[in-house]
Structure 1
Amino acid sequence: MTTVGYGSAPNDAIEHIEVPSNLPSLPQTVPGVSMLATRQWRRAEMAAPAVRFVRDVLREKRFDLVVANDARVLALAHAVAQGAPVWADLHEWAPEERTHVLSWRLLVAPFMRHLCARYLPLCAATSTVCEPIAELYDRDFGVHPVVVRNAGPWQSLEPSPIDDDRVRLVHSGGAVGGRNLEAMIDAVAALDERFTLDLYLLPANDGGAYLRKLTSRAAGIDRIVFHPPVAPSDLPATLNDYDVGVFWIPPTHTNARLTLPNKFFDYVQARLAVAVGPTVEMQRLVEHHGLGIVADGFTVEQCVASLASLTANEVRGFKSAAHSATHDLSFESDAQVIRSLVRASLSTEGA
């Protein structure tokens, strides 16, 4: 297995091509931006510096299957494949990946639509993280991806004991604007002394500026503690010390409205209760498995209201339900989907 990407080699890679961190994966050069602005999308397909680098490095190599990890590398994947099957692994609804950013909405979103329209029908397989997003790809591009969720491996853990006089909230993830992290801080400030909040946040690409704003916002609230980020493989065991995993992300765009992030599955594997807003897929799973509470909306007041009357016995019940759901909500549940997808792709190649 050959892997290509930013950063060091992942586990199990036989060969790894590390893309230099200074090479962007979109055509963010003067010629590239000009191509996007003038709708020269065919020319823009190979204009990103990282794309050109990878194409040149892999020019002489041959593969049995090529996995395109996100829509922006669809053209590159087909070029590298040289006729071999391509699996498009679409983590989000690509046309609206960053539509909250004006330049992305004006220049990149139409390019993403071009890539999807041209290359998805040519793929041997497609996948995405939830059924509503699969339906969007079907509606706009005529392909219906199989669902492979962002679930991690099953963890051998037990629900941690409950303190009747304390509700230990926790959140893990990136310190990225637009995720309503301020609401967590403001909600805990408004809740009674039973509630604490621990945050395991990875600084964003802004040099940590947003994380510093959050830290300042929580200054003086001794019930809120910031911790260094934890490696993904260690997260469930770390989070297991807490009671409730929280994530109230407002539906500012399609991907936020339909998000089913890996942190949700981390909370379940950690045997935590889950507190979310009315986010479509997270709400569905919380209610189906009895995992926790769903706020009526995403304001601080609505988040506070969803937690304020929470009892220790309710938290115990939610944590027990999470424990029962860990096998269904683990990667092992999706692994067979991936095996079937790969087998089908390779048999297509043989045909």
Structure 2
Amino acid sequence: MTDIRRPRILCVSFSDIRSDARVLRQLDVLARHGDVTTLSYGDRPDAAVDHIEIDRSLPSLPQTIPGVLKLALRRYRSVAMDAPAVRAARLALQGRSFDIVVANEARALPLASLVQGSPRVWCDLHEWAPAERSHVLSWRLLIAPFMDWVCREYLPGIAASTTVNESIADLYADRFGVRPEVVRNAIAYRADLSPSPLADDRIRLVHSGGAVPGRNIEAIIDAVDRLGDGYTLDLFLIPSRHADQYWRSLTERIASSPRTTLHAAVAPEELPQTLNPFDLGVYLLPPHTPNHRLMLPNKFFDFVQARLGFVFGPSVETDRLITTHGLGVITDGYAPEDLVRAIRGLSRAEIRGFKARTDAAAEALSSSTDVATEEALLVRLLEAR
């Protein structure tokens, strides 16, 4: 009898997928091709038919003394399965088999290689794995060499890989001899939105994303306070899972700013509508790591579909898109005074022009190209099966 069951797809992400916009978009594509089981922190995403929840308290990298010692001694084959979250995931997967495994980020590759059923593995690397947190000394000394080993060990043998932009794809090709396909962080085209009119009495700045140390959110708050009357800043922030002290200090700083308002985070699919009433999307990320220098973040595409003008700090990929499409201005640096100077130099007519050009570019900068890449990739994997 012909086997007519739907393909079984395992999606692994050591994040809370329900608040991970990139993986949520990926799941929408996966669910069109098979029955998806997710393995992650947090609750089951809507697109999954089954879910394996990893305890939020379990880290996805080795943190015990034996695990750290193995990292220091470069005993990577032994340490690859030592992280508490990975051990728990491996145990939970016993007796389950899959046709395709999607490993989100390189850290999920060792686990993906052990899944039963001889699945085809697609690794969505997201960004440049060896430098995810290279501004942190312990990461640079212990984790970066391990991530380099993971990429060398596993990437050549998997069926497919993807990453967020051409610059980072070049890094993988140069270092590991494997060129990932590009799937940006773009979101669906919002034909129902158009640029909102400017308010009579103020320019409305907005920033959304994770409240993570190093994101330089404080500099944006300082800048709006220096800009004075006629400018406001609204923040839609997701608290970090591991930075309670930072969140407390940040909320105290926000409370002391007369022009800044903190809002609860909204679901990724709601962001364009929520951000649409504002004027300028602001992001000022210093290049602490190669991923920062080569960033093309979710918020860039959220701001596009919200039809905002852009004020961004310098970065290779965002500079190119902002300049090509005339979406906004690029600051000279990453300090509050750089942001103040860039915004004070803008007339209301220029801001209206940025919003109009973002509107004109919104369809070209939507996810249609990226979805087509993922669809074609999955078809190839399923045909090979």
TM-score grouping bracket, smaller chain normalisation: over 0.9
Instruction: Identify the residue that residue 47 of structure 1 maps to in structure 2.
Output: 82
| Contact 2:212–2:243 (CA under 8 A) maintained in structure 1 | no
| 1:15 lines up with 2:39 in the alignment | no
Moved more, 239-248 or 203-212: 203-212
Aligned to 1:313: 349
Classify 1:58/1:220 alpha carbon distance in 2 versus 1 (closer, same or farther; 3 Å): closer
**1:259 and 2:291 are equivalent in the alignment:** no
Q: Indicate which of 60, 84, 105 corresponds to 1:25.
A: 60
| 1:218 Cα deviation after fit | 4.2
- Single out whichever of 332-341 and 220-229 deviates more from structure 2: 220-229
Structure 2 counterpart of 1:189: 225
Following superposition of structure 1 onto structure 2, how do residues 200-211 of structure 1 map, counting pairs within 5 Å?
Answer: 200-211=236-247
Give the TM-score of the pair, scaled to structure 1. Answer: 0.95
Determine whether 1:86 maps to 2:121.
yes
1:323 aligns with 2:350: no
The residue aligned with 2:321 is 285
Q: Distance in 1 between matches of 2:168 and 2:370?
A: 17
Give how far 1:77 is off: 0.6
Match of 2:280 among 244, 250, 258: 244
**TM-score, normalised with respect to structure 2:** 0.87
Between the two proteins, the alignment pairs up a number of residues equal to 349
Q: Is the CA contact 2:62–2:83 (under 8 Å) kept in the aligned structure 1?
A: yes
Q: Are the structure 2 counterparts of residues 23 and 216 from structure 1 closer, same or farther at C-alpha, using a change threshold of 3 Å?
A: closer
Tell me the CA shift for residue 206 of structure 1. 4.2
**For residues 137-174 of structure 1, what are the alpha-carbon distances to aligned partners after superposition, in whole Å with 9 as ceiling and x for unaligned?**
01110000011011222222111111244110000111
Q: What are structure 2's unaligned runs of at least 5 residues?
A: 1-35
Residue from 328, 332, 350 that aligns with 2:368 = 332
Query: Is residue 298 of structure 2 the alignment partner of residue 297 of structure 1?
Result: no
Distance (whole Å) between structure 2 residues aligned to residue 66 and residue 117 of structure 1: 19
- In structure 2, C-alpha distance between the alignment counterparts of 1:262 and 1:88, rounded to whole Å: 19
Structure 2 residue matching 1:79: 3-state secondary structure: coil
Residue by residue, what CA displacement relative to the aligned partner does 1:87-145 show, whole Å, maximum 9, x if unpaired?
01011110011112111111111110110000000111000001111110011100000
Counterpart position of 1:224: 260
Q: In the alignment, is residue 118 of structure 1 matched against residue 172 of structure 2? A: no
- CA distance, structure 2, for counterparts of residue 277 and residue 248 of structure 1: 5
Kindly tell me: are residues 80 and 48 of structure 1, through their superposed partners in 2, closer, same or farther at Cα, counting changes over 3 Å? same
Which region of structure 1 is more displaced relative to structure 2, 98-107 or 202-211?
202-211
**Equivalent of residue 161 in structure 1, options 197, 207, 218:** 197
2:99 paired residue number? 64
CA distance in 1, matches of 2:147, 2:65: 19
Counterpart of 2:297 in structure 1: which amino acid?
A: P
Q: Distance in 2 between matches of 1:312 and 1:333?
A: 33
> In the aligned structure 2, how far is the partner of 1:126 from the partner of 1:332?
19
User: What per-residue deviation string (whole Å, max 9, x for no partner) do you get for residues 287-306 of structure 1?
Assistant: 11111111122122222111
Q: CA RMSD in A?
A: 1.5
Taking the aligned partners of 1:134 and 1:184, their CA distance within structure 2 comes to: 31
Cα distance change, pair 220–63 in 1 and its aligned pair in 2 (3 A)? closer
Partner SS for 1:340? helix
1:11-45 deviations in Å (ceiling 9; x for gaps): 21111111111221112222211211111100011
Residue 16 of structure 1 aligns with an amino acid whose one-letter code is H
Matching residue's letter, 1:78: S
Q: Greater shift after overlay, 89-98 or 303-312?
A: 303-312
Match of 1:106 among 141, 160, 170: 141
* Counterpart amino acid of residue 268 in structure 1: V
Deviations 1:40-95 (A, max 9, x none): 10001111121122222223222111111010010111111553211010111100
SS at match of 1:80: coil
Paired residue secondary structure (1:92): coil
Q: How far, CA to CA, are the matches of 1:338 and 1:111 in structure 2?
A: 28
Superposed displacement of residue 207, structure 1: 4.9
Secondary structure of 1:149's match?
Answer: coil
Using the aligned pairs only, state the percent identity: 52
Instruction: Judge conservation of contact 1:163–1:312 (CA < 8 Å) in 2.
Output: no
Shift in Å, 1:252: 1.1
Matched, 1:146 2:181: yes
**CA deviation digits over 1:175-231, x for unaligned, max 9?**
111111111011112214221111111212345322332333344432211112222
State the secondary structure of the residue aligned to 1:88: strand
Q: 1:82 to 1:169 in 2, by over 3 A?
A: same
1:138–1:13 CA distance, 2 compared to 1 (3 A): same
What is the rounded CA distance, in whole Å, between the counterparts of 2:99 and 2:199 in structure 1?
54
Of the candidates 144, 151, 162, which is equivalent to residue 127 of structure 1? 162
User: Are 2:256 and 1:214 aligned?
Assistant: no
